[in-house]
Chain A
Amino acid sequence: MRSIWRTIDRELVRDVAALAAAVAVVGASFGALAIAAGVPVWMASVMSLLVFAGGSQFMVVGVLAAGGTPFAAVAAALLLNLRHLPFGLVVGDLLGRNRAAQLLGAHIMIDESVAFAMAQRDPQRARAAYWLCGITLFCAWNPAVLVGAYLGEAMGDPADFGLDAAFPAALFALLLPQLREPGPLRVAIAGAVLAVAATPFLPAGVPVLVALLGVVFALPLPKKLERAR
């Protein structure tokens, strides 16, 4: 465990810090929104600590505020989080067989920590990036929710800072180095097109899962690669 921190370089720390700043602003806006929707501060905070999945937290508060039942709210939120199951199949490799690392590491599994890990070239760096990103964003998200809850409407809208564009852009930047080979590139394009095409017809969270079908676009590749070798 100790040795993995040595593989962290300044560039990685800077990149994660930039994302943490953005996450903090969104966390604060979640806190402000939750309070406006009548959620007590402590409950917004407990939720952020225990759930730590921003999209699903906004989803639950939003559905309940719109008059939905708790069942509908939680079902929609869990659907949104279902993508973490396939993510776990990749992250499981990084976390190894240490039970404590698995139990703790699973909780900091978010799009950004997975993307940061996958953007690294070797497994050692991937492991370090996963933990650094996950822990840093956890430590940015939770205090920010409290701050936002107290600031309330003085918080402003993260959209004013363009943060809704910052997160997709960050994912793209982390994804790009993995798309040099034609197979992954085809999978990424197919996944993106499938998800966007499915969006008008399916509830939130499901279109991204439809994107998994995009994996078939890499199928002819392994044979070709093997032959090339």
Chain B
Amino acid sequence: MTLTTVLVLAVGTYAIRIGGVLLRERYSVPDRVRRMFALSAIALLAALYATNGLVDGEGFAGWARALGVGAGALLAVARLPFVVVVIGAALTTAGLRVLAIA
């Protein structure tokens, strides 16, 4: 890895990040469009949840992770505190791995 690689990635990533922010500032948009922006963020976060929970590289991430993420979801639906959800998911997955369930 060269410094050029790092800098190109850094500049590109920052350009993407600041791009949305500046676009948002440039145009005043009606509330309906603002609502669409919020909905697209919801779609993205839900997609990140599902893909990070189920997929690793090109294949299934394995039952340990999927069940851990599922356990976390159940804890969240049961309205348990955020910290309990996060630790519960991690412990479930770690526990399943100790039991050699991939």
Contacts and interface: CB of A to CB of B under 8 A. Distances in A.
Interface string B9-47: 110111011111111110000001011111111111111
A146 to B, nearest CB: 16
A9 B73 CA distance: 24
A200 B51 CA distance: 11
B1 to A, nearest CB: 5
A160 B20 contact: no
Range of interface residues on chain B? 35 or more
B25 to A, nearest CB: 6
A167 interface: yes
Interface string A155-179: 0000111111111111111111011
B39 A60 contact: no
Range of interface residues on chain A? 35 or more
A166 B97 contact: no
A106 B85 CA distance: 28
Nearest to A64: B1
Nearest to B6: A47
Given A64-B1, A162-B93, A191-B47, A169 B39 contact: no
Given A165-B68, A168-B52, A118 B41 contact: yes
Interface of B: 1-10, 12-14, 16-25, 32, 34-56, 58, 61, 64-65, 68-69, 71-73, 75-77, 81-83, 85-95, 97
Nearest 8 Cβ contacts at the A-B interface: A88-B20, A169-B72, A92-B24, A165-B68, A162-B93, A191-B43, A211-B47, A169-B89
24 contacts: A18-B87, A81-B13, A82-B16, A84-B13, A85-B19, A86-B20, A95-B21, A114-B41, A118-B41, A164-B65, A165-B64, A169-B76, A170-B85, A170-B86, A176-B76, A176-B77, A179-B42, A191-B46, A192-B46, A192-B50, A194-B47, A209-B44, A212-B43, A214-B46
